[in-house]
Amino acid sequence: AAAGEAARADFARHWQAEFPGEPAPRMELGSVRAMERELERCRRHLRRLQRALAEERFKVGYLEAALARAPPP
C-alpha cells in the first residue's frame, strides 16, 4: 500500500509539472500488474482519441476544400 501511495504521489507531482493547476487523474499504481492494466486502459483511450482526431481532421479538410470550390455567396 505504501508503494502504491508513493507511486501515486510521484505521478501527481509529474502531472502537476506537465499540467499546472489540473488535478491528477486517479490511477491504480500499487503493483506492476495494476500499472500494466492502467497502461492498457490508457493505450485504448489514446487509440480512440487518435481515431476521433483523424475523423475531425478529415471533416475539416473536406469542408475547407468544399468551401474553397464554392461560388461566393
Structure confidence at residue 1 as a pLDDT band (50, 70, 90): confident
pLDDT given at position 72: 83
Q: How far apart are CA 31 and CA 27, in angstroms?
A: 11
Any long-range contacts for 37-45 (C-beta under 8 Å, 24+ apart)? none
Q: State the DSSP code for 21.
A: T
pLDDT tens, position by position, 10-23: 999 999 999 999 99
Query: For the whole model, what pTM was predicted?
Result: 0.78
